[in-house]
Amino acid sequence: MSEVKTNKRTLEGTVVSNKGEQTVVVQVERKFLHPRYRKTVRSHKKYMAHDAENTCNIGDTVRIIESAPISRRKRWVMETVLTRAEQL
């Protein structure tokens, strides 16, 4: 299978909620250097992503890719599950 080059953004994050029907909430964390104080700052943002098969569980690490608007707040689609969360 060949890789297809696309201009769509991809992000990796952790699933924090899967209560919606075909929807997961993914928290993406980014680290950057503070411009003045040169300290590493951690920032996070939550994205709602479309999960057509309802395969994600809380704690899974997933890759999401941007898409056309699916609903009022969903603009991302879950592409793959990178790692599964350990179930207790």
Contact 18, 57 (CB under 8 A): yes
Per the listing, tokens 């707040």 go with 73
Q: Put residue 54 in one of left, alpha, beta given phi > 0 → left and psi -120 to 50 → alpha.
A: left
Q: Answer whether residue 10 shows pLDDT above 90.
A: yes
Task: Convert the pLDDT of each residue in 43-74 to its tens digit.
Answer: 999 999 999 999 999 999 999 999 999 999 99
Residues composing the chain: 88
Tell me the domain boundaries of the chain: 10-83
Q: What pLDDT score does 88 carry?
A: 67
Region 8-15: mean pLDDT is 97
- Identity at 51, one-letter amino acid code: D
Determine the CATH number of domain 10-83: 2.40.50.140
Instruction: Please state, in angstroms and rounded to a whole number, the distance separating the CA atoms of residues 60 and 55.
Output: 10
Reported as a pLDDT band with limits 50, 70 and 90, residue 86 is confident
- The torsion defined by the Cα of 15, 49, 3 and 31, in degrees rounded to 10, comes to -50
What's the pTM value of the predicted model, to 2 decimals? 0.88
